[in-house]
Each structure stands twice: as structure tokens, then as C-alpha cells.
Chain A
Amino acid sequence: MAVDELRIKNKQKRQKLFAELKDQHNKERHSMRRTRAKEERENPELKEKRLAENVPDTIDNLRVYDETMGQEVEGEMDDFMKFFNGTEPPKILLTTNVNAKKKAYEFANILIEVFPNVTFVKRKFGYKLKEISEFCNNRNYTDIVIINEDKKKVTGLTFIHLPEGPTFYFKISSFVEVEKIVGHGRPTSHIPELILNNFNTRLGKTVGKLFQSIFPKNPDFEGRQVITLHNQRDYIFFRRHRYVFRNEEKVGLQELGPQFTMKLKRLQRGIKEETEWEHKPSMDKEKKKFNL
């Protein structure tokens, strides 16, 4: 009931009455919830039934039908096949765009801690991407990661899988430094475990495979470090945690940082050759259509 519906001409009285009604309504709701919680504690099946019946409509579960979801991937996993068949660990070259500023190097320092077996090389003038990829191929690098900085802000990350591509370009946003995360821990050099969430479509699986190929397949479980790449509505959230088993049932999490969000903008065949998929601004018009 709204305030206007009370039809009392005195505003103060009307407001007072409405506050009382609202308070009463809240109390009823709280007591209903208390009794329901008590009943559900005694009989957990009731809770399961309630949760199964009352599924709220979200943009995620109203997503537009995508035929590529749930289908088996045809053949071997295309261009990443070589890495998966081999036993060699990934070897990453990290660099920036030409004439990068301080922010790019700061971000590079963070990524050096995140990616295993990574070498940072300062980008010099006069070397084209083709030459860089040739140097890397000769030195058995498996990936090149390029930090894109524009107007003193880190705007993107380019991943080039070697020797024959593909190339991914992600937009970077919502970057939170480690120091700004309250109660953050200090990471160790252990190889982290990897959690990939919600990479369901054919394109999503290719993106997921990129991240799988960057981190070695044999994590150091004693380090208890986890990197999570959670995809929600085509935004990929990067988080890093350390877990601890408090007892047999409870697990504690400590965030190690940093936090940032990636959005796939372009996927190209080879080293920046023909486009396989590209984000268009018109795609954002359709709120319930997701590509990953």
C-alpha cells in the first residue's frame, strides 16, 4: 500500500499511519521467515522444494537459445591441439605496446606474478609483431601476451598462441590493485589451480581452452592457490584466492588479488589474420544474447 492510498488529508498522520502499517508488515514477514526457517531446519526437503519451485527470472537464465551450447566439440581442440598433446609446460613472453607508460609496466609486474614461466621483455621500437613471433617461435615460447595501454590506462590484453595462432584481444576494465583489497594475502610462487566457470558456447570453449593452455596442467596443491575465471554475461572476472580447510566442513578463502574484468573483443585466426569472431556495438543491444 502506498502513502497516497490511505486517504487521510493530514500528511503527518498519514505518514505515521503508513509507518505503522509498514512496520507491522515487516514484522509479519520476519516472523513468517523465522517460522519457515525453523520448519525447514527440521525438514530440509521443504527448503529444497521451495527453492526448486521459486526460481527467479534473471537475465542469465532468460538467455537467448544458442545451438552451440551443450554440443560436443568436433575434432581435437583446433589450434591448441599441439600444446595438449605435448608434455612441455607453457612458456610465455610478456610485453607491452610500443611507447608504453608507467601503468603498463605496473600491470606487467602483476601479471608476472600471475602467469607461470613468464619472461617480460620491454617493447622496443623497430620490431614488428611478425619478427617478435618469429623470435619467440625460435625460442620455444608457447604464447605472447601484450599489454595494451592507452592514455596512461591499461585498456586491453592480446594473447597470441604460438606458433600458428589464434589471437585473442580482450578489453580490460575494473582493475583493482592488490593493496586496495582488504585483508589480502601474499601470493607464493606455487602453480595455481584453475577454475573456469560458464564457458559454455563453442566460442566460450575456445576462450576457456586459451586459459587452460596458459597455466600448466600440474598445479601445486600444497600452495592452495586458485585462479578463477568466471564468465557472466560475456564478462570474464579474474580473481585469485588462497583457500584453507578450517575443519572437515568449512573452507576459508583469502583473496590474493588483483581483480580485473576482461571482455572478449576479437578472435582472429593465425597471428592477427582473418577474423573468427568480433564484438560489434550492435551486439550489446540484445541484452539476453551472450556469446561465451
Chain B
Amino acid sequence: MRVLLASDDSGSLKEIIFNRGTNTSIKTALQPFHIDIHLNQGLSNRIDKIYHVSDSLLLLARHSGSLELVSSKRVSKDVDETNEPKYDVTEFELQDLISGLFDQSVLDTLSSKSKKKSKIEDQFVELYLIKKSAKNPIFLAATKSGNVTIIEVDLHSTKISKIASHKIKAPVEFVTLYDLDKSDKFVMAYGGEENLVRLIELSSDFKEISDIWAAKNVPFDNIGLRVPAWDVALRFLESEKNGVYNFITITKYAQLRKYSTNAEDCRPVKSITLLPKGEQLNSCKIIGDTSPLGNFQSSNFDELEFLAADSRKDVYQFNGKGRLLRKIAKGDITGFASCIAVTDKYLLQGGLDRYVRIFDLADYKLLAKIFTGGKVSDIILLEDNDLELPLTEKQLKMKKKKEAKRSIVEADEDAENEDLWNKLESKKRKVSKNDI
């Protein structure tokens, strides 16, 4: 398996090559074959988001407000083949960058009103592909301060250029694109702390942005107090009618809210409290049949299952009815899971405890646990096949013994078969009455 991760402490990109069963916490267990640091720029320039553009290109969103296009090249590594499997390592090289995408001044004014005790720092909250193209794919990068930048990547000349930039209301926790139909429309939803969900539409030339729908907060609670709004993640569901959008949001206060733009009052259709003791949730990743951007390919709210991490140490799995199904790696994770990524078969988790864990989504068994040395803010899985390990001396001896035994047994069997055939052929065939 090969993963790339953003390591905060050194502000670097890390490549890790390992097999299933790797566990750095156990001395005698399998250890990763290769961990290497690339493009380190320090804590203040750490990588917020990674996007795998193609086999040889990566987009990195740095905490300094710059987007970097990085080329990668596989080089075979010289290893002692008797002890280690043969594998390729990746070399990275910066090709192009765009900087100055942050606007800290917006967040400075919002910091005093925020529930967060620390000053809000600008950072990239989203980086993903919005339009596929063989030559010039188009990406969206969104920041906490509400800057939405549309970028074009020239795959041939390995250059990035800014097509358009838009301003949305800050603070932004997510900007989710509706990618469940094949229309030319770019409908997106965004929200954040005291920033209720809004749907916006980006024109096909990416130059204009327009509001199409805005959510209202849930009604006052039973003692007549206003309920605080802080959506942290949003996922779309497939819509049954054209122009109607269904989606779920997860709030910081551990609520699951189901919305439909068809609803008369623009309020959530349903709001369910997921955790009873005031835990804070921070993410939402849907498991199962999802689009490339993680939206759910079904219109039924009750069918979905999703993962969410709290701000302490747990990763929970809930169903669409808001029922807790399980806790992932119960007790093993010791810090906030700042990154959860879901692929077809695997769940990747990394966090402030400086470990990367990989789970099998079929049975939630821990496949690998690796100490990375730095806090993890993003992970991508590049390869999921295991390397073939060279045999140890003991295994080689056993293999030779087995082969020798098999050859002896085969020779004996051949001889016996030959004898039997000879005997059968030498016997005179009895002549029956029918033959005459």
C-alpha cells in the first residue's frame, strides 16, 4: 500500500509504503518499508489539502495561502532484495504556484464573535475537481475566509492559472458541489459558524455566482432560546425532482439535520441530536454508494451511513436515522481525528496523535497503524496492493523441502499409474457372447 499525507509539524508531504499488517506500535510486527519527507516548508506553511490530479501531478493547498502544482516521478529504490521487497519511491518537484488566496482580515473581525477561544486562522477548507478534462481540468479551492478560487491546470505545460475568484460569506467550514447529475450547472452549498447553509450556482464560464436558496435556523428551543448554528459538513443526496436539492448537514453541536429545498419554510425537515453529552463533531464522510466528491447516490435519507469524528478522540459511525452504529478503533485513537478519508474498500484515519490508521470497510478491522512523526491533516491512498515479501531462510528451506517431497510423490504416482496401465493392457480381454 502507498499513502501520501500532509504532515503538519514539518509542513511536508510524506510518502509511506507498507503492507497490510503493519503496526509500528508492536516491535515484532511488520514495519513500514519506506517513510520519506518531501517539500517541507515548516509549520506555518503546512499543507491543508492534497488533491491527486493525475499519475504524475498533485495539487497542494498550503496554510500560507498558496496553491502548488507538484509533479511526481517514480524512481526504483536500491534495496537489499534478500531482506526487503523491491519497490519504487516517488520524487516530487514543484512546477507552479499561485499565492495570496487568503484574507485574514475578514476572520479577525469574526474572531471576537466566535465560540472558538483561539483566534480563527485562515486555511483551505476545500480543494477538488469540478470539471474533468483531458487537457485542462478545472478545480475549486475554498478558504475559511470565504474566498472561492477557480483554477485551471494545464496538464501539458504543468501550469496553473486562476480563472475566477468569488467571495462568499465567512466563516466557511465547507463548500460542497452537487455532482449527482450530469448537467452543466455547478450548484454548491456552503456554511459555517453562525453562517447558515446557502446554495449558490456558479455559471458555466465560472465568472458569476448567484444565490439560489438559503436555509433558516431551527425554531427556538423549548425554553425560548435561539439555537446556535454551526454546520461543519454537508453531503448531498440524489434529488427526485429537477431543481430540488436534498442534503444532510452535521453541526458542531452533534446534530444531524436533513434539508430539502422543497420544504416551505427553508428550515431543516428533521434535526436529530446524535450524541447526548455535548460532544462536538467535526466531519461527515458517507460510506457506500457515493459520488467522487462523497455525495450519496440515493434519495432516501434512511439508507445512508456516515462517519463523523468528535473533537476528542472518537470516530463514530451513524445511520441516517441518527443511530450510533459503532465507534471505530475503540480506545486505540488518543487524539482528535483531523482527517478521515473513505475509499471503496478502506477507511483512512489520521490525526493529532500522529498516527495513520487504515481500516477495512467490510469488517472495520485495523489493517495498518503507522506512527508518522507529525500531525496529519490530509491523507490520500495511491495504491492498495501489497508488496511481495522475500522469503526468510527458514521459509526458503521449507519451500525447498516441500518441492522435493512433491517431486518424489509425483514420480511415485507416475510409476504406479504406469504399472496399473501395463497390467490392464496385458490382461486378455474376456470375450462375451454378445461380441460373437
Contact = CB atoms under 8 A, between A and B. Distances in A.
Interface of A: 65-68, 71, 73-76, 78-79, 81, 129-130, 133, 163-165, 202, 269-278, 280, 282
Interface in B292-337: 311-313, 331, 334-336
Most buried by A among B8, B117, B121, B331: B117
29 contacts: A65-B27, A71-B373, A73-B9, A75-B11, A75-B43, A78-B9, A81-B43, A129-B117, A130-B117, A133-B117, A164-B118, A164-B119, A164-B121, A202-B354, A270-B117, A271-B117, A274-B282, A274-B336, A274-B338, A274-B352, A275-B311, A275-B312, A275-B313, A276-B353, A277-B334, A278-B312, A278-B313, A278-B334, A278-B335
B159 to A, nearest CB: 30
A66 B27 CA distance: 8
Interface string B1-38: 00000011111100000000000111100000000010
A68 to B, nearest CB: 6
A269 B117 contact: no
Interface in B37-63: 37, 40, 42-43
A269 B336 contact: yes
Interface of B: 7-12, 24-27, 37, 40, 42-43, 116-119, 121, 282, 311-313, 331, 334-336, 338, 352-354, 371, 373-375
Nearest to B311: A274
Contacts of B118: 164-165, 270-271, 273
B373 A74 contact: yes
B78 to A, nearest CB: 23
A65 B354 CA distance: 17
Given A65-B27, A67-B371, A273-B118, 10 more contacts: A65-B25, A67-B24, A68-B371, A75-B7, A75-B40, A130-B116, A273-B117, A273-B311, A276-B336, A276-B353
Contact of B335 (A74, A133, A277): A277
A65 B31 CA distance: 14
A173 to B, nearest CB: 23
A271 B119 CA distance: 9
Contacts of A68: 354, 371
A74 B43 CA distance: 10
Contact of A275 (B7, B26, B27, B352): B352
A287 to B, nearest CB: 17
A79 B121 CA distance: 14
List of 3 A-B pairs having minimum Cβ-Cβ separation, nearest first? A75-B10, A270-B118, A274-B336
B9 A74 contact: yes
Contacts of B11: 75
Nearest to A75: B10
A71 to B, nearest CB: 7
B352 A276 contact: yes
A271 B25 CA distance: 30
B42 A76 contact: yes
A271 B334 CA distance: 19
Nearest to A129: B117
A76 B336 contact: no
Contacts of A276: 335-336, 352-353
A271 B117 CA distance: 6
Nearest to B335: A276
Contacts of A270: 116-118
A282 B43 CA distance: 33
B11 to A, nearest CB: 7
Nearest to B372: A74
Contact of B42 (A75, A271, A278): A75
A276 B7 CA distance: 15
B371 to A, nearest CB: 5
Most buried by B among A130, A164, A271, A278: A130
Nearest to A271: B117
Contacts of B24: 67
A144 to B, nearest CB: 11
A258 B44 CA distance: 39
Contacts of B312: 274-275, 278
A130 B335 CA distance: 23
A66 B375 CA distance: 17
A76 B311 contact: no
Nearest to B14: A74
A65 B9 contact: no
A277 B331 CA distance: 12
B9 A67 contact: no
A76 B353 contact: no
A138 to B, nearest CB: 12
A195 to B, nearest CB: 26
Nearest to B354: A202
Nearest to A266: B312
